[in-house]
Structure 1
Amino acid sequence: MIRQFAARMLLCSALAATALTATMPTAQAASEIKVVVNKQPITTFQINQRLAFMKLRRAPGGAEAATNELIDEALKVQEARRRGIQIPDPMVDEAFGRFAKDNKLTEAQLGQVLGQAGFSTKGFKDYIRVQMAWGQAVQANMRQSERLTESEVVQRMLQQGGQKPSTTEYTLQQVIFVVPPAQRGSAMGRRMQEANAMRQRFNSCASTYDLAKGLKDVTVRDLGRVAQPELPPRWKNDIVAGSRGKTTKAIETERGVEFVAICDTRSISDDQAAAMVFQARDMEAMGKQEPDQALLKKLKDRATIVRR
């Protein structure tokens, strides 16, 4: 999400943040409530801020279009909250730093730009948090939407001539080289080197804990067995392309530097596996139909939206 923002005008993103989280007592006091979305008010102040954002983007539409954008955002925030999705501060800080870097700015310089435009670092981070939470809400909805029943699995198999689909099950370990948020700038490169050095020595999950013993602030987690359709998107391609006794590449994450070790693989074709395969195919089809818009439409249909 932040990489996509980097291709846009910096002030556009800053204004979007303010439109969502601005806290200017005088302006707020003078504004009126124009829309209530499931008891959450949207004021004329927020609408005016969004109008300014739209002008910077050269987006068509007036006050009505701005209001509609704010209604969508209110629904996204509410859905993320309903699902108990919370984005930790380190993830937001990392995204903020990456945005600054993509725009060839330090974080302090980005904060100055936001401040000079009349916005704030906190406002922009709050906007980032909402976008991340909405992304997780969409993924969670895709994973849980209408789990196939046993009869539905049987029906799908009959449609395929009675053939039961199979999938690969992976036994995995996760290795985390912890980097505190305050040290990300100075320590990330060194920790990446340490992680890659450990990957080169790795040959089986039986030795992972021994390899980690001599290293500082390294956590090893046994993830157990995970079927291919349920692999985390962040690691899925590397795991599928890998093999037993290998690891994914090391990447920077909100926790530091991480990689996943493939302990074992096996083919499974029981009823549960068949259900997961069919569900994965449905999710893929939904992905082609923009599942975020599908979920947003569902939320709108169920919402109580009162315009004044």
Structure 2
Amino acid sequence: MRSLNLHGTLKAILCSGAILAAAAVTTAPVLLPAPAYAQASSVRFIVNDVAITSTDIDRRVALLRLMGRSGNLRDIASKEMIDQVLRQQEMARLRVTPPDEQVNQAYENFARSNKLTTAQMDQILNEAGVGRDHFKSFIRTQIGWGRVLQARNQSSGSLSEQEVVARILQQGGKKPSTTEYTLQQFIFVVPAAERGRIMGQRKSQAQAMRNRVRGCENSHELARSQLDVTVRDLGRFLAPQLPPDWKDQIEKTKAGSATAIKETERGVEFIVVCSTRQVSDDYVARLVFQSQQQNDKSAEKLSEEVMAELRKRARIVRR
């Protein structure tokens, strides 16, 4: 049986809230026969009035097999399905709803990273007993849960004035400084229905325009030379505030230059670093120290803590 490269990708989803490409798997796919246990479904757990059926657990067992997991897969699958329901309920409470377009794009990216078409991916999942819908629900939950963790981290990571002063004194009374970036974003729009047909062409156009960028003075004029290109003036960002998906690239890009192009749910994008400068004041000190505090707590550890809270409050009935 073929094992899809899931583990590293799922860890990345949890940490960032976005689907990242997994390393390609080069072994030929071997499809499982339709599972013999696909019979009448019955309720196995009720989590805060939401039912988890035997079919749900069967499908998760099949997914675990594709992931190459070992151990008592039914127990692992039961726990994962309970956790998934709890996560979905917390997402609903916080109104975190990853759009269908993002989930579909993540699914396509995942198939491509395993050197599969989406049709081949559908077939493998169906024949293995997972099903496309179950896997997409899994993806949607992972994306949304990443956003829940980001919101939780931001709300719990603020420092009091006394804590900021204490940290400044620890550094010999010197306030920390950070880089302030002024940014613009180019978006080469690709409609969802046209992605397969024109994505390559739009990437070439975006790369050609990126090569012509010399700062932000003529950005809007450049954009008018192409159809369906949007330029957004993003304004100023301190280094700890940079968008996570772009942070590494922005920090490596010199003022007046552009990041590498990136395929996104909107189409093809790149960001121009208009200017940079070093800043240091009370707000910067608080922001830098807060960022350091948040980095001390990994997303994985935070996820475990939040899940423990949700399980403690939950009503979980086993049938």
Query: Do the structures match in fold with TM over 0.5?
Result: yes
Distance 1:232 1:91 in 2: 17
Does structure 2 conserve the Cα–Cα contact (< 8 Å) formed by 1:5 and 1:99?
Answer: no
Per the normalisation by structure 1, the TM-score is 0.84
For residue 170 of structure 1, what is the aligned residue in structure 2?
Answer: 181
> Which of 67, 73, 90 is the equivalent residue of 1:79?
90
SS of the aligned residue for 1:104 comes to coil
Distance 2:100 2:110 in 1: 15
For residue 42 of structure 1, what is the aligned residue in structure 2?
Answer: 52
Once the two structures are superposed, the pairs formed by residues 79-118 of structure 1 within 5 Å of their partners are 79-118=90-129
1:167 is displaced (CA, Å) by 1.1
> Which has the larger displacement, 287-296 or 124-133?
287-296
Does structure 1 conserve the Cα–Cα contact (< 8 Å) formed by 2:157 and 2:294?
Answer: no
Query: Structure 1: which 5+ residue stretches go unaligned?
Result: 16-23
1:258 aligns with 2:269: yes
What CA deviation, in whole Å up to 9, does each residue of 1:99-122 have, x standing for no partner? 222333222232233334455433
1:228 aligns with 2:266: no
Once the two structures are superposed, the pairs formed by residues 82-231 of structure 1 within 5 Å of their partners are 82-231=93-242
What CA deviation, in whole Å up to 9, does each residue of 1:120-149 have, x standing for no partner? 433332222112212222223223323122
1:7 is displaced (CA, Å) by 5.2
SS of the aligned residue for 2:230 comes to strand
Q: Which has more helix, going by share of residues?
A: 1
SS of the aligned residue for 2:175 comes to coil
Distance 2:55 2:22 in 1: 27
What CA deviation, in whole Å up to 9, does each residue of 1:258-295 have, x standing for no partner? 01111121222222211111111112111286433333
CA RMSD of aligned residues (A): 2.9
Question: Paired residues, what number?
Answer: 295
Distance 2:63 2:204 in 1: 42
Per the normalisation by structure 2, the TM-score is 0.82
For residue 4 of structure 2, what is the aligned residue in structure 1?
Answer: none
Distance 2:62 2:214 in 1: 56
1:58 is displaced (CA, Å) by 4.4
Does structure 2 conserve the Cα–Cα contact (< 8 Å) formed by 1:87 and 1:133?
Answer: yes
SS of the aligned residue for 1:185 comes to helix
